[in-house]
Amino acid sequence: MLKRKILFNVINVIFVILYLYPGSIIGFLIYGDINKQPQLTGDFIVSSNHLYAFLVLSVVGLFAYYRSKKIFILNYLILASIIFEILHLIIPNRSFQFSDLFGNVAGVFISIFILMLLDYWRKK
């Protein structure tokens, strides 16, 4: 359990740095350009990069804290998915986009759904 919490906290710190940095650190590392964002897959209704990122963060966070701090972790993940994108309104070289916001929130809710399914199957 402690390893999951440490993993979540490490991923969370990396996430905050990547999300709030004024430009794309990953774009700089891959393309040498902080203005270019790598795209894992094509976007659909929501931003796929954001959906995947928040899905990973949320799954790890839920597995680490769901039993001990259920309300805290759910609130944190939902608020973080919204606040991180809203902060792009004031961070230089970043832009607020509804598709990114919806991708963030969708990643959190998909991970909650996955955890609910796992709990349901465990109880059977």
Question: When comparing pLDDT for 117 and 33, which is higher?
Answer: 117
Domain ranges of the chain: 2-123
Give pLDDT, residue 85: 94
Dist CA 27 CA 21 (whole Å): 12
pTM reported for the whole predicted model: 0.86
Give pLDDT, residue 39: 74
Q: Say if residue 40's pLDDT is above 80.
A: no
pLDDT 10s digits, 53-69: 999 999 999 999 988 89
pLDDT 10s digits, 64-98: 998 889 899 999 999 999 999 999 999 988 889 99
